[in-house]
């Protein structure tokens, strides 16, 4: 399909101007039980129904359709450096394991349309459970393994699962995290009680089984070894899964994804964005608890007929060469990670990058947070492959901004995630007036004109009103999807993300973006990393407060040295942005509080600075990071 288009600009324009014809072509990349005649029903904006009269199955497209040509090819390789285990499954073996899991779920009462909550570590059974749900038309809701009981309880209440699939424990950095006590407490806290809990026993932690409710996976699997469970052909609009994302209120938002649109979107992305071929090997270092794990560990690579690697472990354990040893051993062609992980590797001995043959690797894609230029430059030089940034959200399910090199080879611009991806009618909007900004380098809200392309959220689970009010009504006078991110677009169509619109500080009436202040501070030669938040101030309404990690902290052992560096940083902000942007304080720390997926916990930083309750911190990588800041603030 790409060959029909002389360049990406034409390809993109056609996806917007000839929407239905374009997506009808992409729809032919997947198998349909009943091919769609209607491509997009947008009769009730902003709700888009893609391929509404078509029927298909996500598991069929990920597994069954490959059996004829590649039954003996590796489909899934589960690697754990926590337990020192590796287990590979061919497409034929994956097909059988998924049917066993599907039969067990059906025996526990799961029917089409029912929810199954998956609270699992990064083990093969988690993939079996997701695919089994898709196979029988159940709706899975994966919750990050190890989430605290109260957070898990709120998701159980919202999803109302018939069955919860879990395991005795996960492990991180050699530390075992028992899941069963957290799960039991969550169920006790929840108003909704699942009919059954299916437990995978890894032999890592005691797991008290509750009679009548809890079931052992190994025992039930043994009863269904020869199970044959056909795929349920479902309407394209049938929900495939819900995935919870934090909101500005305490109640989590259940992002609801369809089946047909999502399958088409992923199939197209594997071709046009990732240049993937059947038989290639995809290594995404994310977690199935996040959207990247859904799209590019489980479904996308399998839809493309690739081998996908499921990894439990850290990038530096047993040593900083572990990822590259996997690339060498499994001849990884495509790798997807996060800038935080690369920054961690940057601190390690560079010899680890030279130790392994990574010649199979075609490119490294990075997402999850802004990719700074020094990090991009370093990893590009170290790997000698294209480094391709991409920007998207849990809500969209696949990239909004990146380079579609499968259509036309384009150069990366470090600092930019790339250009608008086909299907996304991306605009920059003036937040105050709602007008579109068309000139280069104008700062506006990154927004998307409806309909959202296939694969994006249909709605918020059981809350259409919240879907409309949250995403479509924040810009005055327009029904347009807001990403809640500031951005600019250069004269060549490359976008640059400048930070959240809700990370704006209002200092004595002056609106300041935290990202701009951060970039200014990060320009100081002794600042490695920085986070800026707005802190309530009686006089000015808000003031900026900066938390910075020095590159070299050895000379900052006394107060005078710290004060000197703080003065230098403030002077730099004064010179570049003006005195109004100068932080009230610059505090020097050894690390910033982040989630396990590498995102800065800005709200927690702000809460600590304002001496408020930090709320749910179950996703935080290292709790000591926040404690250090509390100690500094006194």
In DSSP notation, 80-107 reads ETTTTEEEEEEHHHHHHHHHHHHHHHHH
**Domains in the chain with CATH codes:** 2-313+390-471 (3.40.50.12780), 508-633 (3.30.300.30)
Q: Is 538 exposed, middle or buried (0-12, 13-18, 19+ CB in 10 A)?
A: exposed
pLDDT value for 631: 85
Whether residue 58 is predicted with pLDDT greater than 50 in this model: the reply is yes
- Name the band, by pLDDT with cuts 50, 70 and 90, for residue 616: low
Query: Per-residue pLDDT tens for 330-372?
Result: 999 999 998 888 888 988 888 998 999 999 999 999 998 778 7
Chain mean pLDDT for the chain: 92
Q: Which helix (H) or strand (E) holds 352?
A: helix 351-354
DSSP letter assigned to residue 274: T
Query: Per-residue pLDDT tens for 24-40?
Result: 999 999 999 999 999 99
Crossing angle of helices 373-383/339-346, nearest 10°?
70
Closest CA to 597 of 289, 323, 376: 289
Q: Is 164 exposed, middle or buried (0-12, 13-18, 19+ CB in 10 A)?
A: buried
In DSSP notation, 537-570 reads ETTTEEEEEEEEEES--TT-SSHHHHHHHHHHHH
Query: Per-residue pLDDT tens for 158-185?
Result: 999 999 999 999 999 999 999 999 999 9
Query: Per-residue pLDDT tens for 184-213?
Result: 999 999 999 999 999 999 999 999 999 999
Averaged pLDDT for residues 208-219: 97
CA distance 60 to 104: 18
Averaged pLDDT for residues 395-406: 97
Phi (first) and psi of residue 14, to 5 degrees: -65, -35
Query: Per-residue pLDDT tens for 438-450?
Result: 999 999 999 999 9
Closest CA to 520 of 509, 532, 503: 532
Whether residue 5 is predicted with pLDDT greater than 60 in this model: the reply is no
Contact 527, 592 (CB under 8 A): no
DSSP letter assigned to residue 247: -
Whether residue 248 is predicted with pLDDT greater than 70 in this model: the reply is no
Chain centre distance of CA 415: 19
Dmax (CA) of the chain = 73
CA distance 445 to 426: 10
Please report the sign of the dihedral spanned by the C-alpha atoms of residue 385, residue 389, residue 390, residue 394: positive
CA distance 369 to 446: 15
Q: Which helix (H) or strand (E) holds 482?
A: strand 481-489
> Structure pTM?
0.87
């Amino acid at each position: 399909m790409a060959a029909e288009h002389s360049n990406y600009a034409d390809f993109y324009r056609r996806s917007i101007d000839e929407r239905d014809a374009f997506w009808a072509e992409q729809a032919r990349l997947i198998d349909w039980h009943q091919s769609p005649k209607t491509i997009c029903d947008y009769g009730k904006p902003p709700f888009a129904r893609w391929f509404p009269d078509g029927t298909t199955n996500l598991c069929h497209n990920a597994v069954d359709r490959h059996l004829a040509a590649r039954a003996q090819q590796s489909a899934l390789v589960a690697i754990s450096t926590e337990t020192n285990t590796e287990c590979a499954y061919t497409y034929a073996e994956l097909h059988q394991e998924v049917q066993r899991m599907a039969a067990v779920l059906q025996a526990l009462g799961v029917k089409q349309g029912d929810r199954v909550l998956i609270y699992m570590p990064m083990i093969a059974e988690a993939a079996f459970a997701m695919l089994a749900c898709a196979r029988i038309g159940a709706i899975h809701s994966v919750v990050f393994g190890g989430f605290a009981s109260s957070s898990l309880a709120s998701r159980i209440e919202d999803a109302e699962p018939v069955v919860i699939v879990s395991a005795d424990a996960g492990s991180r950095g050699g530390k075992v995290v028992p899941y069963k006590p957290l799960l039991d407490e969550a169920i006790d806290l929840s108003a909704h009680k699942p009919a059954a809990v299916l437990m995978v026993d890894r032999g890592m932690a005691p797991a008290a089984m509750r009679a009548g409710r809890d079931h052992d996976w190994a025992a039930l699997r043994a009863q269904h070894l020869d199970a044959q469970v056909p795929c349920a052909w479902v309407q394209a609009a049938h929900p495939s899964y819900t995935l919870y994302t934090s909101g500005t209120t305490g109640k989590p938002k259940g992002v609801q994804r369809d089946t047909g649109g999502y399958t088409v979107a992923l199939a197209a992305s594997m071709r046009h964005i990732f240049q993937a071929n059947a038989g290639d090997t995809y290594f995404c270092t994310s977690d199935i608890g996040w959207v990247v794990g859904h799209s590019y560990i489980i479904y996308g690579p399998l839809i493309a007929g690739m081998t996908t690697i499921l990894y439990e472990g850290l990038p530096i354990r047993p040593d900083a060469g572990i990822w590259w040893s996997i690339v060498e051993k499994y001849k990884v062609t495509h790798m997807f990670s996060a800038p935080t992980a690369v920054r961690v590797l940057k601190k390690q001995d560079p010899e680890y990058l030279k130790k392994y043959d990574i010649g199979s690797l075609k490119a490294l894609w990075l997402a999850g947070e802004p990719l700074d230029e020094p990090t991009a430059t370093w990893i590009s030089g170290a790997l000698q492959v294209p480094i391709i940034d991409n920007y998207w959200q849990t809500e969209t399910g696949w990239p909004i901004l990146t380079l579609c090199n499968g259509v036309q080879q384009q150069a990366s611009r470090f600092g930019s995630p790339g250009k608008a991806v086909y299907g996304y009618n991306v605009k920059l909007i003036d937040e105050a007036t709602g007008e579109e900004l068309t000139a280069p380098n104008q700062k506006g809200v990154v927004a998307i004109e409806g309909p959202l392309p296939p694969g994006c959220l249909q709605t918020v689970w059981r809350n259409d009103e919240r879907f409309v009010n949250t995403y479509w009504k924040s810009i005055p006078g327009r029904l347009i999807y807001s990403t809640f991110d500031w951005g600019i677009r250069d004269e060549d169509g490359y976008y640059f993300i400048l930070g959240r619109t809700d990370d704006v500080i209002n200092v004595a009436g002056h609106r300041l973006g935290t990202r701009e202040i951060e970039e200014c501070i990060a320009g100081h030669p002794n600042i490695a990393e920085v986070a800026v938040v707005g802190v309530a101030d009686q006089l000015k309404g808000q003031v900026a407060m900066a938390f910075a990690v020095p590159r070299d902290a050895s000379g900052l052992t006394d107060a005078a040295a710290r004060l000197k560096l703080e003065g230098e940083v403030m002077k730099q902000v004064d010179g570049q942005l003006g005195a109004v942007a100068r932080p009230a304080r610059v505090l020097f720390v050894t690390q910033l509080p982040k989630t396990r997926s590498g995102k800065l916990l800005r709200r927690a930083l702000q809460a600590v600075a304002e001496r408020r309750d930090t709320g749910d911190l179950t996703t935080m990588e290292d709790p000591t990071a926040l404690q250090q800041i509390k100690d500094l603030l006194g």
